[in-house]
Structures are given as structure tokens and as C-alpha cells.
């Protein structure tokens, strides 16, 4: 889809925004990167400080949702912008150290455009996302990967502590800072919050379907909000572990090992009836993942983490020591990240010792 030239969000270069931010240049988005079609990204500068600006692209929504009126689209996307801003401000107020920090926000008015309003968010400048720091050929990168995953687990734990579920955890949403020394979770645009209603909240999976937990692909929606949101984040984290060491996500590996007759694109039955086939494909995917990792002790440790994070039946997902015996019991401890944080801290320390 091509954009028209009548696009205020595409025309911020050279502008000086409120609070003194100068828009230096547009940052071209990489394929699969965060933001993409629905926003334009810029480098902004104030004094010696550089930052990253994300400008909401109303024109993209007009092209995508041609059946809706301009008023409807403006209201919906303004609500989405306000929702993300509220979550980011909550994270900032609570000093979440492993979540990308908002620095400023506002709305620029550019006279002469059909839609002159450009809401924007300004973030601390990242070096890039994790994909640019991945190198599957060097053993030394294992330390970096384990440390990065530890940071992400801490970030998810922090988000859950303030009632936010990320719901769109994927490589392009993990940002690196300090020359790669620190990883933080970015892009809360598809997140859900227990006490702030999200405009995109329907009960279905709100994130990128290529990374979705299997239950959503089979149209199984757990009725409990907390269970559904937290179990989703746990699956997405385990899938991220798989990506760090294999370059593929767990949903793709499960689909690869699943008999086509039982794949979500072909299956018309209910989720329960496909469970056994799904679990079989899952364990084949785990075996494939384990065989990729050269260090067999590390492979065994990561396998355990991925197994409890990504188990395809959500009721049986989570750390084995915290899964309730009775599935009807309300116990969301099974989706807490405390044990996972501790485990990755230990694994990275052991990996560092091996290099000495």
C-alpha cells in the first residue's frame, strides 16, 4: 500500500517541537521492525541529547479501514495513542528499569494537511533490536544471549507487577542499549492492562499472529483475563528463548512438526480434540531446539525453561513447582517470572566463568 504525499506524520523533519526537540531526520523502518506501517520514526535532538520519536500515522489507518469514517478512525487511533501513553507513563513513574522509557510526548499541528494532527511519543534512544546483535556462529555470544534474556524476564516481571501484560513479545520489540550491554522491552502498543481498558481488547490474541500461542490459533480463549494474559506472556518469553538460540520461534517449530491435518490452518474441530497431536509436535520441536545448542548442559537447562514456558496447553503451562494440582484453582503463581529471572541470572554467571 502506498501512502499519499498529503501526510503530516511523514513531514516532521526540520520541525522544532514543544519542549525544544528538533526533528533531525526520519529513520527508515526495517522489515518486521517495531512500528512499521502505522507510524513514522525520527531521530530528534535537544542540546546534546538524542532520542527516538514515534509519530502516529493516521493516513495508514485510512487506507487499511476504508469502510470507516474519518471521525471513527481518528477517535479509535487517538484512544490507542492515549492508552499506550498511559502505560508508558505508569512504567516511567514506577521506574521499570527493563522497559523502554518514554521521555516526552505531545501533538504537533502541521497546517496545510488534510489531517494536520500528529500525536507522537519520544523514547530514550536504543542501539537497535536484538536481531542486530545476534551471531549464531560465535560461542562467546551465549553470554550475551543469556544476559539479554535475563533482562527480558526482569522486564516482564516488572510489567506484571504494575498490572500490564505485554502480549507482543518478539525480537523486534526487544531493544538494546549501552552498546548492547542492556536489553529492554519496547512497544507497549498491543499490551493489555487489568485496570485500563485497551481499545484493541477483544479476548483474542492482540499481538503478531506469527508468534501467537497455539490456543489462540485454534480459537480457544481462556475465560479468565489474568490467566489468559499472563500465560500468553510466558509462552512468548519461551518462544523468544528459542529464537535467541535457533533463529526460529516456537510457534513456527510446532507448526513444522505438526501433521498438516491437525494444523490450525486446517483444523475445524475444537482445541481439546487436537491437544494430543499438538503436544506430540511440541516435544518434537523441543528435541529439534535442543539439538541446535552445542553445550549439552546448557541445552538441558534451556529445554526445561522452554518446556514449562511454551507448553501448548495453557492450563499446564508454567513452572512445574507452581502449577496447581486442581486446574480449577485460581493460582497465577505458575506464570510468575521470579524463578525464571533467577535461573537466567545463574546461567549467565556460569557461562561467563567458562570464558575465563
Residue 3 lies in a domain: no
> What is the pLDDT, as a whole number, of residue 323?
74
Residues 139 and 274 in one domain: yes
> What is the pLDDT, as a whole number, of residue 190?
95
The CATH number of the domain holding residue 292 is 1.10.510.10
| Residue 32 pLDDT level (bands cut at 50, 70, 90) | very low
CA atoms lying within 13 Å on the CB side of residue 356: 6
Which comes out higher in pLDDT, residue 60 or 211? 211
| Residue 328 pLDDT level (bands cut at 50, 70, 90) | low
The CATH number of the domain holding residue 103 is 3.30.200.20
> What is the pLDDT, as a whole number, of residue 131?
86
Residues 67 and 209 in one domain: no
Q: Which range marks the domain in which residue 111 is found? A: 8-124
Residues 193 and 77 in one domain: no
Pick from 90, 124, 158: which residue ends a domain?
124
Residues 60 and 94 in one domain: yes
User: Total structural domains in the chain?
Assistant: 2
Pick from 81, 104, 124: which residue ends a domain?
124
Residue 210 lies in a domain: yes
**213-266 pLDDT, tens per residue?**
999 999 999 999 999 999 999 999 999 999 999 999 999 999 999 999 999 999
85-89, 177-181, 251-255: least confident range: 177-181
Residue 323 lies in a domain: yes
> What is the pLDDT, as a whole number, of residue 34?
46
% of the chain exceeding 90 in pLDDT = 76
Amino acid at each position: 500500500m502506498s501512502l499519499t504525499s498529503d501526510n503530516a506524520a511523514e513531514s516532521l523533519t526540520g520541525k522544532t517541537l514543544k519542549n525544544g526537540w528538533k526533528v533531525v531526520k526520519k529513520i527508515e523502518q526495517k522489515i518486521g521492525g517495531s512500528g512499521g506501517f502505522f507510524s513514522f520514526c525520527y531521530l530528534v535532538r535537544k542540546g546534546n541529547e538524542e532520542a527516538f520519536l514515534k509519530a502516529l500515522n493516521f493516513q495508514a489507518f485510512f487506507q487499511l479501514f476504508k469502510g470507516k469514517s474519518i471521525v471513527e478512525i481518528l477517535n479509535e487511533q487517538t484512544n490507542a495513542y492515549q492508552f499506550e501513553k498511559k502505560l508508558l507513563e505508569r512504567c516511567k513513574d514506577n521506574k521499570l528499569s527493563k522497559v523502554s522509557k518514554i521521555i516526552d510526548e505531545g501533538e504537533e499541528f502541521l497546517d496545510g494537511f488534510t489531517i494536520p494532527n500528529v500525536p507522537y511519543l519520544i523514547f530514550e534512544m536504543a542501539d537497535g533490536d536484538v536481531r542486530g546483535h545476534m551471531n549464531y556462529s560465535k560461542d562467546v555470544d551465549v553470554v550475551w544471549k543469556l544476559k539479554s534474556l535475563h533482562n527480558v524476564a526482569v522486564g516482564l516481571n516488572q510489567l506484571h507487577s504494575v498490572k500490564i501484560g505485554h502480549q507482543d513479545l518478539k525480537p523486534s520489540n526487544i531493544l538494546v542499549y549501552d552498546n548492547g550491554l542492556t536489553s529492554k522491552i519496547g512497544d507497549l502498543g498491543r499490551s493489555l492492562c487489568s485496570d485500563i481498558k485497551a481499545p484493541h481488547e477483544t479476548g483474542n490474541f492482540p499481538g503478531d499472529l506469527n508468534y501467537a500461542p497455539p490456543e489462540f490459533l485454534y480459537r480457544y480463549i481462556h475465560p479468565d483475563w489474568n490467566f489468559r494474559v499472563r500465560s500468553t506472556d510466558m509462552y512468548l518469553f519461551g518462544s523468544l528463548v528459542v529464537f535467541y538460540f535457533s533463529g526460529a520461534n516456537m510457534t513456527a517449530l510446532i507448526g513444522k512438526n505438526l501433521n498438516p491435518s491437525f494444523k490450525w490452518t486446517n483444523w475445524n474441530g475444537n482445541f481439546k480434540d487436537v491437544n494430543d497431536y499438538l503436544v506430540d509436535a511440541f516435544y518434537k520441536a523441543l528435541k529439534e531446539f535442543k539439538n541446535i545448542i552445542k553445550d549439552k548442559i546448557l541445552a538441558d537447562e534451556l529445554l526445561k525453561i522452554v518446556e514449562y514456558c511454551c507448553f501448548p496447553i495453557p492450563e499446564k503451562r508454567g513452572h512445574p513447582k507452581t502449577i496447581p494440582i486442581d486446574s480449577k484453582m485460581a493460582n497465577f503463581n505458575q506464570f510468575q517470572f521470579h524463578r525464571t529471572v533467577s535461573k537466567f541470572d545463574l546461567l549467565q554467571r556460569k557461562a561467563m566463568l567458562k570464558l575465563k
